[in-house]
Structure 1
Amino acid sequence: MSKQTPPVKKNETITLQFEDLTHEGSGVGKINGYPLFVPRALPGEEGTIKVVKVNKNFGFGKLLELTKESPERIEPVCDIKCSGCGLQHMSYQLQLEMKQAQVKNTMKKVAHLDHVPVHPIIGMDKPLHYRNKAKIPVGEKNGELITGFYQRRSHRIIENTETCTTHNQVINEVVKTIRKIANKLGIKAYNEVAHEGVLRHIMVRTGQETKDIMVVLVTRTAKLPHQEEIVKALTDKFPHIKSIVQNVNSERKNAIMGDKTKLIWGDEYIYDKIGDITFAISAKSFYQVNPLQTKTLYDKALEYADAGSKDTVVDAYCGIGTISLFLAQQAKKVYGVEVVPEAITDAKKNAKMNGITNAEFYVGEAEKIMPWWKAQGLDPDVIVVDPPRKGCDEELLQAMVEMQPKRIVYVSCNPSTLARDLRILEDGGFKTQEVQPVDMFPQTPHIECVCWLER
C-alpha cells in the first residue's frame, strides 16, 4: 500500500486499540501505523469506532462501543456534551498525568530543553465548581429563552447550564434566574443570523473570599427593556449582588463584549482577596478564573522571582496588577505595563486601596514601552511576563534579552507558545532552571505553567 493511501475510509466501522492521548485528551489508536484520534477513548481500551474524517497522515473517529475499559475511566459528573470539559470521563489522576506528559514533551520537542526539570503538576483537592466567572450565550427555542454552551466548533447552544460542574454553584443559580426573569418579561434573545433581538450573553463574576457577585447583561440594543424589574428581581433573590452592568454589543461579530459598558445598579466593582491583598474587579478586568489555584500559581511565581528589597521588577502584561502588587511587597520598585487602559485604571486603584506606593503602572504595548524604559536607564533585576495564549511578541522577547535582567519568570497558559519563547530566550543568553505546571482548569485540557530563567 502506498504511503499516500490511508488504510481506512470515511464512514468505515473498525475495531481499534488505544495506546496514547492527544494534548486535547482524545484517545490515539493506530491501523498499520496510521493514527486515528477518538474523543472520550483512553489508553489501554479497545472499542468499535466509526471513521468520521480521513486526512493524509491521520484521521478522526467516533467511539461507538467499548469492548475493553480502562481502570482510569470514570462516570462523568456532567453528561452535557458542550465544548467545555472534555476530560470528565478520565480519573483526575490521569488528567494530571496527561498534562504533566504534555508539558514534558513540549519542552523536549519544541524548546529542545531535555535537561530542564518539569516538576509534578500541582492539582486541586476538589477539582469541581472552581470557576469564579462564566460567559453564557443566550438563544431561543420554541419561543422561550435558553442558556447554555456552544457545541464544539459550532454556534448551536446546548441547553442547561444550571448543572455546570466547573462553575461556582451560585453562578449557575444566577444564570437560571436571569433566564426565568427575561422569559417572564418577554425579552427576546439575540438572533445572530437576522441580527435582531436583545440579550446576547450573560456574564457572572463572583468573589471567592467576599462572596460578591457581578452580573453583566450583554445586549444588542442600547436600551435594556424592563431594566428596573430585572434589577429588583435579581437583588431581592441574591443579596450578594453588588453590581449589575449592561454591556452594549451592537455589531455582527463573535466577540462577546462590545465597547460600551454602563452601570445600571450598585457599584462599578466587586472585590476579592488573594492572600492579604484585596482586588477591585470591573466588568472587563482580567482576573484568574480559579482563585484557589491562583494563590498557588502566584506563590510559585514569587518564589521564582526571588525579588529582594533592593530589586527593581518589570511586570509585562500586568493586568489589574495581581502579580505586581505581590511583587511590590518584596521588591524596591515594580513597573507594570498593560495594553488595556481599563486594566491599568484598576491596577492603580488596587495599589492605592492596598496602600502600596512602590508600584507604577503604564498603558501601552510592553514591546514598545520596554525599549523606551531601557533608553531611560531602567535596568530591572527581574522581569515577569504573563502573556495571553499566543505567547510573547518577538519584539518583547528581544527587549527582555536586551534589558539583561538577572532573572525572568514566565507564567504561561499554553505550553506550546511557552516552549517556543523559551527557545528564543535561551538563544538570547538565559537558562531555563525549572518548570512548574499548575492545574488551573481541571476537567479541561488547558495547563498553566510557571518557569524560572537565569541570565
Structure 2
Amino acid sequence: MHPSQRQKIVAMLALLSCTKFSRAFHSPVQNLSQRIAKHSILSTSLKSTTDNDQVASVVPRKFKPFPFQYHEELTLKVDSLTNRGIGVCRAEIPKSAVPADDDQRDSYEKDDKNWVVFVPNTIPGETIRCKVYRNYGSYSDADLLEIVEESPDRVEPPCPLFEECGGCQYQHMNIKSQREWKTSQVQELLERVGKQDPSSFPAALPTVGTVEVYNYRSKITPHYDRPVNVDIGDVEIRAIGFKKKTNRQLVDVPYCHIATEAINEKLTDYREEKFKEALEGRLKKRKKGATLLLRDALKYEQHDLTSEEQVVETDPNVYVKTNVKDLTFRFLAGNFFQNNPYMLPVMVDHVVESAIKPNAAGEKMTHLIDCYCGSGLFCLSASKEFDVCAGIEVNEKAVEEAQFNADLNSINNCKFVAASAEAIFNSKDPVEVVTTDEEGKEILSSTLVKDFPKDNTVVIIDPPRKGCSVEFLEQLDAFSPARVVYMSCDPATQARDAEFIVNSGYKITKVTPFDLFPQTRHIESLVIFEKC
C-alpha cells in the first residue's frame, strides 16, 4: 500500500472515533427549505453519474428526451404518494415535445395533460419545483429542487442522511400524517387491486401504532460493497450502510435513527472493526461485498433460561430470545422474527382476539391452523384458546424453533410441520397433541388437518412479501374454514389474494393497518375474512 493511501485510511479511522464526527451526525440540521436552496439539489441521483459526486452536465447516453429534456425544471403540485412513499405529480407535456418511441407516442396520444412525474421527499398538497433526470414510457423521475408551498404536515427530519438514504421515506412527515396515508393506501389497494366495492366491507380502521417512532428497530442489516483496489493489493471499504433512494449506491451510515440505541452503540464498534480489517488486508480475498447483521435481543443460555441479559448479536447462526407478552421465543439471530418489540404485543393481541371470536353460529373456535408460522409467534400466542393447533413453515430451522418454543413455554397442544403451506391441508402426517378432558386428565389425540371441523377452525396466514400462491388459495378454498385471519407485510399482494378469497365465498369483516415501521413506507395489514 502506498504510504499516502495508508495515511488517508488512518485519518478516516481517526475521524470515525473522534467526538466532532459523532456530534456532526447528531447535531440539529437546518430547515429543509434552506438546505435545498443552499445545496440546489435534494436527492443525490444526479450526483451518482460521476465519481467525484459532482452534478453531471453531460446528458446520459441512454436518456430519452421525451417528454422533458434532461434536467428540465418543472413546477408541480403533489397529488398523492405511491406505495414506495414517493410523491406523485402530474404535468402537461410540452407541445414541442417529440415522442422517442412507439410506447411514448401511445402514452402521449392517450393523455397529453396527465403525464406522471415521481418526486421523492414530498408531501401531497405541496407545490414543488423539480428537475427531471429520467423519462420512461408513461412517467418521469425527478429530483426535488425547492418546496414552493410547504405542507403543514412537514417536519424537520432528525437524520442528516434522510435526503439520500433509502432506509426511510417519511421522516419529513409528522407521524399523524404518516399513519393517515398508510390507512388510505391499505383501503385504496383493497379497492383497486383487490377489486372490492367499498360498500361491501368496513373501511380500514385508523393505523395502529405506538409512541416509539424512533430507535425502535431491533434488527438492521447494513451492507458494504466489494472492497476497492483489491487487484492492486490495497483494500478499502468506502461505505457501510444502506442503498440510496434513487440508485444502488451505498450511503455511509454511522448512526441509524430508527434502530435501537444498543444497535447504534454496537454499530460504531462494528464499523471500526470492518474498516480495520480492510486496513490490515484481511478482506483482500473478498470478491463481493457483504450484508452485516445487528440483532438486539436477549442472550440465550441453555443452562439459564431465566437470563435477561441484553445483547446485540452479529452472528446469524447464534440463538437469541425475546419475550412477547407472557411467552419466550428462541430463534436464530439471522432468521425472521418481527423486529419492532414495541408493536409486536399489540399485533399479537389483535390477531388472537380476531381468531378466538365465536363463529357465525355462536360456537367456540376449537382448531387453529397457522400457515407460514415461522418460530410459532401467532400459533403459540393463541394456543391456550384452542383445543388443537397446527403450524406449517417451509424453513426447517424455524419449525425446530417453533417446536422448541412450544416446549419452552410448556405448550402441548401445538404441532409444527416443515413443508410448504400448500401441503398443510393434504398432509398425511397426523397432528398429535396432548389435550385435557373435563376431569383434567391428559389425553393424546391424533387428527389429520383435513379432518379438522371446518365450522370451528380458523386459519391464520402470514405469508412473505409475495403473498400466497394460487395452489395454496385453491386448497384453502377447498378446505373452507369458518374464518381466515390474514396478516401481511405487503398490502398490495394481500389485496390481490383478497379478491380470490372473497370470490371463494368469504366477506371482509375487518381491516386494520399497523405502523410496524414508523418513518418508512412499510405497512403491516390485518384483514379478517368470514365464511358467508
Structures share fold, TM-score greater than 0.5: yes
Q: Residue type matched to 1:17 in 2?
A: K
- Does residue 71 in structure 1 map to residue 131 in structure 2? no
Task: Quote how far apart the aligned CAs of 1:439 are.
Answer: 0.5
Which of 178, 181, 185 is matched with 2:273 structurally? 181
Which of 287, 312, 322 is matched with 1:272 structurally? 322
User: Using the alignment, how far apart are the partners of 1:10 and 1:155 within structure 2?
Assistant: 21
Q: Which residue of 2 is the match for residue 420 of structure 1?
A: 496
How far does the alpha carbon of each residue in 1:140-174 deviate from its partner, in whole angstroms, 9 at most, with x for none?
5795544211224644321123x211111111111
How far does the alpha carbon of each residue in 1:295-335 deviate from its partner, in whole angstroms, 9 at most, with x for none?
11111111111167761110000000000101112110110
Runs of 4+ deviating beyond 6 Å:
none
Q: Which residue of 2 is the match for residue 353 of structure 1?
A: 408
User: Using the alignment, how far apart are the partners of 2:479 and 2:399 within structure 1?
Assistant: 23
Q: Residue type matched to 1:168 in 2?
A: T
User: Using the alignment, how far apart are the partners of 1:189 and 1:299 within structure 2?
Assistant: 48
Asked if 2 retains the 8 angstrom alpha-carbon contact of 1:138 and 1:190, the reply is no
- Name whichever of 121-130 and 18-27 sits farther off: 18-27
Asked if 2 retains the 8 angstrom alpha-carbon contact of 1:12 and 1:50, the reply is yes
Which of 353, 357, 361 is matched with 1:303 structurally? 353
Asked if 2 retains the 8 angstrom alpha-carbon contact of 1:307 and 1:382, the reply is no
Q: Which residue of 2 is the match for residue 235 of structure 1?
A: none
Asked if 1 retains the 8 angstrom alpha-carbon contact of 2:424 and 2:449, the reply is no
Asked if 2 retains the 8 angstrom alpha-carbon contact of 1:206 and 1:213, the reply is no
The 3-state SS of whatever aligns with 1:59 is strand
Which of 132, 136, 143 is matched with 1:51 structurally? 132
User: Using the alignment, how far apart are the partners of 1:156 and 1:213 within structure 2?
Assistant: 36
Q: Which residue of 1 is the match for residue 435 of structure 2?
A: none
The 3-state SS of whatever aligns with 2:176 is helix
- Does residue 88 in structure 1 map to residue 178 in structure 2? no
- Does residue 103 in structure 1 map to residue 186 in structure 2? yes
Q: Which residue of 2 is the match for residue 256 of structure 1?
A: none
User: Relative to 1, partners in 2 of residues 1:93 and 1:62: Cα closer, same or farther, differing over 3 Å?
Assistant: same
Q: Which residue of 2 is the match for residue 228 of structure 1?
A: none
Q: Which residue of 2 is the match for residue 60 of structure 1?
A: 141
User: Using the alignment, how far apart are the partners of 1:337 and 1:364 within structure 2?
Assistant: 6
Which of 498, 502, 518 is matched with 1:442 structurally? 518
Task: Quote how far apart the aligned CAs of 1:107 are.
Answer: 1.1
User: Relative to 1, partners in 2 of residues 1:438 and 1:357: Cα closer, same or farther, differing over 3 Å?
Assistant: same
Which of 364, 368, 375 is matched with 1:313 structurally? 368
User: Using the alignment, how far apart are the partners of 2:189 and 2:385 within structure 1?
Assistant: 33
How far does the alpha carbon of each residue in 1:361-405 deviate from its partner, in whole angstroms, 9 at most, with x for none?
000001023223678523451100000110001111111111111
Task: Quote how far apart the aligned CAs of 1:82 are.
Answer: 1.6
Count of aligned pairs between the two proteins: 400
User: Using the alignment, how far apart are the partners of 1:44 and 1:375 within structure 2?
Assistant: 52
Task: Quote how far apart the aligned CAs of 1:213 are.
Answer: 9.0
Which of 338, 342, 345 is matched with 1:292 structurally? 342
User: Relative to 1, partners in 2 of residues 1:450 and 1:321: Cα closer, same or farther, differing over 3 Å?
Assistant: same
How far does the alpha carbon of each residue in 1:412-452 deviate from its partner, in whole angstroms, 9 at most, with x for none?
11111111111101111111111100111111111101111
Give the superposed CA RMSD: 2.5
User: Using the alignment, how far apart are the partners of 1:27 and 1:434 within structure 2?
Assistant: 29
User: Using the alignment, how far apart are the partners of 1:188 and 1:166 within structure 2?
Assistant: 32
Q: Which residue of 2 is the match for residue 127 of structure 1?
A: 213
The 3-state SS of whatever aligns with 1:167 is coil
How far does the alpha carbon of each residue in 1:184-218 deviate from its partner, in whole angstroms, 9 at most, with x for none?
45565768xx8538x823211112xx4x499xxxx
User: Relative to 1, partners in 2 of residues 1:304 and 1:241: Cα closer, same or farther, differing over 3 Å?
Assistant: closer
User: Using the alignment, how far apart are the partners of 1:447 and 1:23 within structure 2?
Assistant: 9
Q: Residue type matched to 2:295 in 1?
A: R
- Does residue 22 in structure 1 map to residue 82 in structure 2? yes
Q: Residue type matched to 2:398 in 1?
A: A
How far does the alpha carbon of each residue in 1:55-95 deviate from its partner, in whole angstroms, 9 at most, with x for none?
23222211112222111111111121221101111111111
Asked if 1 retains the 8 angstrom alpha-carbon contact of 2:296 and 2:313, the reply is no
Asked if 2 retains the 8 angstrom alpha-carbon contact of 1:213 and 1:243, the reply is no
Q: Which residue of 2 is the match for residue 169 of structure 1?
A: 261
Q: Residue type matched to 2:311 in 1?
A: I
User: Relative to 1, partners in 2 of residues 1:46 and 1:301: Cα closer, same or farther, differing over 3 Å?
Assistant: same
Q: Which residue of 2 is the match for residue 147 of structure 1?
A: 240
Q: Which residue of 2 is the match for residue 398 of structure 1?
A: 474
User: Using the alignment, how far apart are the partners of 1:164 and 1:213 within structure 2?
Assistant: 26
The 3-state SS of whatever aligns with 1:65 is strand
Q: Which residue of 2 is the match for residue 236 of structure 1?
A: none
Q: Which residue of 1 is the match for residue 8 of structure 2?
A: none
Map of 1:330-409 to 2, 5 A cutoff? 330-372=385-427, 377-380=451-454, 381-409=457-485
Listed as ranges, the gaps of 5+ residues in structure 2 are 1-64, 92-112, 229-233, 302-308, 359-363, 429-447
Task: Quote how far apart the aligned CAs of 1:137 are.
Answer: 1.4
Listed as ranges, the gaps of 5+ residues in structure 1 are 215-238, 248-260, 262-267
User: Relative to 1, partners in 2 of residues 1:213 and 1:174: Cα closer, same or farther, differing over 3 Å?
Assistant: farther
User: Using the alignment, how far apart are the partners of 2:125 and 2:450 within structure 1?
Assistant: 59
Asked if 2 retains the 8 angstrom alpha-carbon contact of 1:388 and 1:413, the reply is yes
Q: Which residue of 1 is the match for residue 505 of structure 2?
A: 429
User: Using the alignment, how far apart are the partners of 1:347 and 1:100 within structure 2?
Assistant: 32
Asked if 2 retains the 8 angstrom alpha-carbon contact of 1:132 and 1:289, the reply is yes
Asked if 2 retains the 8 angstrom alpha-carbon contact of 1:414 and 1:447, the reply is yes
Asked if 1 retains the 8 angstrom alpha-carbon contact of 2:461 and 2:485, the reply is yes
The 3-state SS of whatever aligns with 1:286 is coil
Q: Which residue of 2 is the match for residue 138 of structure 1?
A: 224
Please report the TM-score for the alignment, with normalisation by the length of structure 2.
0.70
Map of 1:155-234 to 2, 5 A cutoff? 155-161=248-254, 163-184=255-276, 186=279, 188=281, 195-196=286-287, 200-207=290-297, 210=298, 212=299
Task: Quote how far apart the aligned CAs of 1:289 are.
Answer: 1.1
User: Using the alignment, how far apart are the partners of 2:140 and 2:282 within structure 1?
Assistant: 38
- Name whichever of 366-375 and 50-59 sits farther off: 366-375
User: Using the alignment, how far apart are the partners of 2:166 and 2:314 within structure 1?
Assistant: 28
Question: Which of these two proteins has the greater Rg computed from alpha carbons?
Answer: 2
User: Relative to 1, partners in 2 of residues 1:189 and 1:327: Cα closer, same or farther, differing over 3 Å?
Assistant: farther
